[in-house]
Every structure is written in structure tokens, then in C-alpha cells.
Chain A
Amino acid sequence: MFKILAFSTLLVLASARPQAELISYSHAYGNDSQTIKAEPATVVVNNDVSFGQAVDFSAATSLTMLTCLKKANYKTVFVRALSPAGNGVFDINAVTTIRNAYSAGLGIEVYMTPQPISSLQGYQQFDLLYNGLVNNGITVRAIWIQVTSPANWQKSTSININFINSIIARAKQYGLTVGIYSNQYDWNQITGNWVTLSSDILLWYWNVYGPGVSGETKPNFTDFRAFGPFKNASVKQYGQAESVCQITVNRDVYAVGIPSMAKSSQEASAFSKNGEIVVGGFVGN
């Protein structure tokens, strides 16, 4: 009897979880780095995932700022390439930011903040973004569609769903990976908890207690709960409206995927194709 108990105990100990990992990154407030202990992930996320630090922003930036971000251990920048102003307009700032980010050796993802109340349909707004980037020598491999701020959307969930579908369909026509930037409450409000989205669509979710550093949640996915069609998340925005390297940014963590793949994505070959800058595809799932 005792032997069985001892054996069981050994079996249990052998299956024990790995220790929590330490992530360190610098803060805009002074040059001292802060070390934050990452909590183990919940079951919805692959336990082998490692996190990359990122920022997302829509402002114009300089090469100095982006070099500063890279030194501050941010691996990737999420850049807005479509603004919701007017009927939706291409974000010309994005081109300069992308070129500077490339020079600084940062990974680059692009997102669009569409204008749901517009004379332009979803796919037309996507085209503005796509053509805008391509005409400036930038190859787009992935796009993130912002579905937040219910107050800015139509009251009819079916209109909103059709609008989002229009963007996704167009992006897929161009062979892009598609992700949605939203959260459970936004998704419920804007799409009525739409569940029949194809399973290859990635999720970038957000959760903060409020703006600024004091409103941050933990830089991990432990607060993620499956919703709508999304069973796991690829990116999380955990801090909003903070100053890093003199840019107002939001802060994110993302699943890098298998570490060896992450390393290869840092190589020059993944950054350019035929001399063109490539954006998107830095986030695993």
C-alpha cells in the first residue's frame, strides 16, 4: 500500500509544471529595467509558447524612436495603416514608420481601424490600405482588423458582420493572414457574439483596467477566456496610452511560436523579398 502511494507521489511530482519565467524590459520612465514575473498560461494556450514584446501605435515616428524601441527589447511594432477619419483613409504615416522599423530591425505588423459608417464598403477600405502599401514597395502578408469601440459602429450587428466579412474576404483574396483586434465585450456589442468565422482567423485581444501604466493587466494570456469563434489568442494588448521612446503607444505581448522559428523571422531574408519590405507574419498562433 505504501509503495503504491510512494509511486503515485513520484508520478505526480514528475508531471509538475515548469517554473514561471522572468521577462525584463525597459520602461519609458527612466532607464532602469523592470523585471516582471510571468504567470503560467491557462490551458487554452499552448504551454510551449514564448512571448514577444510589442507596441502598437498610429502616430508618425522617426528612426531614432524606433531604434530606441528595439533597444528597449520590443521585437515588433503594430502600425496603423488605415485611419477611420472621414470615410476611411490610408495612413500615409505608416509608410515612413514601416521603412524606419525595417531599418531599426524590428518586426512589423499592420492593422486597420476601419470606418463602419462610410460610403466605402469594407473591401474598398481594405483596398486603400493594400494599394497604399504596395504602391510604396511594401509587401503585406497579414492584416489585423480593429473591431473595438461599439459607439463607433452601426447599431445593427448584421450590418457590422457583413462589413467585417467584406474586409476579410478581400484580404484572403490577396492571400493574407487575417487577424481581429477586439475583445469579448466589443465582439458581443458589435457583432452579437458572431461565432461562424473561419478558424484560421487569429485573435489579438485587449484587457486593461484603465489607461496608462496604472491600468495595465498582466503581460500574459491568463485572463483570456474563449469567446465567439476564438479558442485561443495570438496577441494581447495589456497597456494603453503610455509613453515609450517618446511615442504614445499601447503595449502588447504576442505568441512567438516555436523559438527556432522566431529566430529565423529575425533574419534579413524574412524582412525583404526582392528588395521589398515585408510586413506581417511575425506573430505565430
Chain B
Amino acid sequence: MLLKSLALASVLAVLCHAQPTNVKILPFVDSSLPIKFREIIAEAAPKVPSNLASYAFAIDLSVPVSTSQLQCIKQAGYSVAFVRAYNPAGQGSFDANACTTIQNAYYAGLGTEVYMTPQPASAKQGYQQLDEIYQGFTARGITIRAIWIQVTSPTNWPSNANTNVNFINSILSRARQYGMTVGIYTSYYDWNQITNGWSSVGSDVLLWYWNVLGGGVNGETPATFTDFRPFGCWSVPSVKQFAQVEQVCQITVNRDVYAAGSMLKASDAVEDGKIYAGGFVTGNQ
């Protein structure tokens, strides 16, 4: 009995020596181990709060996902999945997995958004890469209404900002020609590095920004827009990626929030029986 209470007391003492209550202690692999880490081992993501009125949750991923996995994701409180439709490997190519994921999401009742990770060093121009996506989806009977262009990882982009601006513009113009809503997935630092702070991208272009302290649960920032500061031509964001490389329903994903009022209900899109990708996150309030 005494031993038990002593153990209890020690545990309590240890817990109170722990960090302030707003920092979570989770198991993570000690980087002092002799293994050289380039990857982060994804741990289970914290649960989505059920009582938040102002923000809705999404995940973004680039791996193929089944209907049951997407049903699980929906059950876990996520309303939208951002799906990668362009793979930057080599010269860049349409990511056909996206079709399957979007169809499965339709059956699971989950909204979808489409993003592309372009290949700026490709022989193919920006608009050609966008065309591959548009044609890829159309061939599978999917109507794409919006596209998010990933502008991150400065080391993957040419060091000439003007070249990069032209490349991005090429994609934007083509997307607009198709009547798509356009958005950019970036951060103020990425935007500065890659486009030198380009501020005339167009007031119709939405912003999906990211901010994490590191990968995994330990590196999350708050699931709110409070850390957003205006940059480029953006004074408000539409989406924020606040967590990277975590497990949800046993898939490795990044986690996002967006302003809840700006979302079309999934049911609005499927009344005519067609599958739509994109347009579930609409604009900035």
C-alpha cells in the first residue's frame, strides 16, 4: 500500500516537473541514436476537436488512399482532403493516383481539393504541366474546379526570381482559361526566396500558407490563423497547414485548417452525379 502511494507520488512529482500544459510530450525517436535521420517517423496525430465553430480540418497527401481509409478520415473529423495531382519527379507528370483518391473521396462523402507540385526545372512549361492535370482528370470524368500550386522548397526552384514568376504565371493563366479558381500553397519565406516577394499575382488568387516548428506532433503550431502576417498580395489566408508528417488512419499526411464558413458542403457538389474536385474551400471569408 505504501509502495503504491509512493509510486503514485513520484509519478505526480515527475508529471508536474514536465513542461507547461500547452506542450505535449509524445514518444519520439532520440536523434542522438547512431542512425542518421532524413525522414521523420510519423506518429499518430492528435484528435480533431469537436467543438470548434470557426475552423474546419483537412488533410493533404500525395499517396493513394482507399475508400475505407477516407471514410475513417471523415469519421476522424476531417472535411476535405487536398490531393496531389502532379508529381515533380523527373520532368514532372500527372499523378494518376489522384483520380482514384478523388473518386474514393466522393464515395466516402469527403470534399476534395487538388494541388500540384510543379517541376520548375522541366523542359515543360508551366501551362503544359497544368494541361496534363486538366486532361488527366477530364479523361477520367472528373471535373476540376480549383487548383492549388505548391511554391515551397526554394532549393528545388531556379535561383532566378523572374524565371519563377513567369513559370507560376504560366500555370495561373492556363488555369484561369479553364475557369478554375486558383490558389498558392506557400509561406512568406518561400515566397520571398522563390519569387522575391512578388506582389502582383492577382487578387483572385487564394492563399494556403504553412507554418510548423518541425515535423511531427511535436512540431505543430496552433490550428488557427493567428500567426499569419500579410505578404505578397495576400492580406488574409484561406487555409493553413499547421502540422506535417503525422499518421491519420494509418496514412502519413499533413494537417490543415480553413475557415469553416468558406466551405461548400460535399453534398452541394454531388447532386448532379458528377465528381467534382476542388472548390470546397472557397475564398477568404
Name A's B-contacting residues (CB within 8 A). 4, 7-8, 11-12, 15-17, 39-40, 42-43, 149-153, 155, 184-185, 189-190, 192-193, 195-196, 207, 209-210, 214-215, 222-227, 231
Q: Which of chain B's residues have a CB closer than 8 A to the CB of A8?
A: 5, 8-9, 12
Q: Inside 8 A of B228's CB, which chain A residues have their CB?
A: 209
Contact residues in B for A16 (Cβ distance below 8 Å): 16
Report the minimal beta-carbon distance from A196 to chain B, rounded to whole angstroms.
Answer: 7
B37: contacting residue among A7, A189, A195, CB under 8 A:
A195
How far, in angstroms, from A40 to B2 measured CA to CA in the complex?
34
Given A7-B9, A15-B16, A185-B189, residue A151 in contact with residue B213 (CB < 8 A): no
Chain B hits for A184, CB < 8 A? 213-214
Which residues in A have their C-beta under 8 angstroms from that of B2?
4
- 29 pairs from A and B in contact (CB 8 Å cutoff): A4-B9, A7-B5, A7-B9, A15-B13, A15-B16, A16-B16, A39-B20, A40-B19, A42-B23, A43-B19, A150-B153, A150-B155, A150-B193, A151-B155, A151-B159, A151-B194, A152-B159, A184-B213, A185-B189, A189-B153, A190-B155, A193-B37, A209-B227, A210-B188, A210-B229, A210-B230, A223-B213, A226-B31, A227-B214
Contact B229 A214 (CB under 8 A): yes
Interface residues in B154-189 by Cβ distance below 8 A to A read: 154-155, 157, 159, 188-189
- Contact indicator per residue, chain B 212-246, by CB within 8 Å of chain A (1) or not (0): 01100011000000011111000000000000000
Q: How far is the CA of A225 from the CA of B19 in the complex (A)?
A: 14
Contact A42–B19 (Cβ < 8 Å)? yes
- Cα A220 to Cα B7 in complex, Å, equals 34
CB distance from A217 to the nearest CB of B (A): 8
For B189, list chain A residues within 8 Å (CB): 185
B16 and A196 within 8 A (CB): no
A-B residue pairs, 4 tightest by C-beta = A210-B229, A225-B214, A4-B5, A150-B154
Asked if B38 is an interface residue, CB under 8 A from chain A, the answer is yes
Tell me whether B47 is interfacial, beta carbon within 8 Å: no
Query: Is B19 touching A11 in the complex (CB atoms < 8 A)?
Result: no
- Chain A residues with CB under 8 A of B229: 209-210, 214-215
Q: How far is the CB of A227 from chain B (nearest CB, A)?
A: 6
Shortest distance between the CB of A279 and any CB in chain B (Å): 30
**Contact A196/B36 with A11-B13, A43-B19 known, Cβ cut-off 8 Å:** yes
Specify the chain B residue showing the minimal Cβ separation from A9. B12
Q: Chain A residues with Cβ under 8 A from B32's Cβ? A: 231
Cross-chain contact A155 with B155 (CB below 8 angstroms): yes
Q: How far is the CA of A42 from the CA of B13 in the complex (A)?
A: 17
Q: What separation, in Å, do the CA atoms of A12 and B157 have in the docked complex?
A: 53
Residues of A within 8 A of B214 (CB): 184, 225-227
- Cα distance A8–B231 in the bound complex, in angstroms: 52
Main secondary structure of the interface of A (DSSP, over half): loop
Chain A contacts for B17, CB-based, 8 A: 15, 17
Closest residue to A227 on the B side, CB-wise?
Answer: B214
Instruction: A7-B9, A11-B13, A150-B155 given; name 6 further pairs at CB < 8 Å.
Output: A4-B9, A40-B19, A43-B19, A149-B154, A209-B227, A210-B188
By beta carbon, the residue of chain A nearest B20 is A40
Minimum Cβ distance to chain A for residue B29 (Å)? 11
Known: A15-B13, A42-B23, A190-B155. A210 touches B231 (CB 8 A): yes
Cα(A62)–Cα(B193), bound, Å: 32
Across the interface, name the chain A residue whose C-beta is closest to B9. Answer: A8
**Given the complex, which residues of B lie within 8 Å of A207, measured CB to CB?**
213
CB distance from B60 to the nearest CB of A (A): 18
CA distance A222 to B22 in the complex (A): 11
* A225 partner, pick from B5, B13, B157, B213, beta carbons under 8 A: B213
Q: Which residues on the B side are within 8 Å of A11 (C-beta)?
A: 9, 12-13
Q: How far is the CB of A84 from chain B (nearest CB, A)?
A: 13
Report the minimal beta-carbon distance from A160 to chain B, rounded to whole angstroms. Answer: 9
Q: How far is the CA of A43 from the CA of B20 in the complex (A)?
A: 10
Q: Name the A residues within 8 Å of B23 (CB-CB).
A: 42, 222
Task: Give Cα distance in the complex from A208 to B232, angstroms.
Answer: 16
Q: Give the chain A neighbours of B9 by CB distance below 8 A.
A: 4, 7-8, 11-12
Q: Which chain B residues lie closer than 8 Å to A17 at the CB level?
A: 16-17, 20
Among A12, A153, A189, point to the contact of B16 (Cβ < 8 A): A12
Chain B residue at smallest Cβ distance from A212:
B229
For residue A13, give the distance in angstroms from its CB to the closest CB of chain B. Answer: 8
Q: How far is the CB of B11 from chain A (nearest CB, A)?
A: 9
- Chain A residues with Cβ below 8 Å from B20 are 17, 39-40
Closest-by-CB residue of A relative to B4 is A4
Cα–Cα, bound, A12→B231 (Å) = 47
B14-41, CB < 8 A from A: 16-20, 23, 31-32, 36-38
Which A residue's beta carbon lies closest to that of B23?
Answer: A42
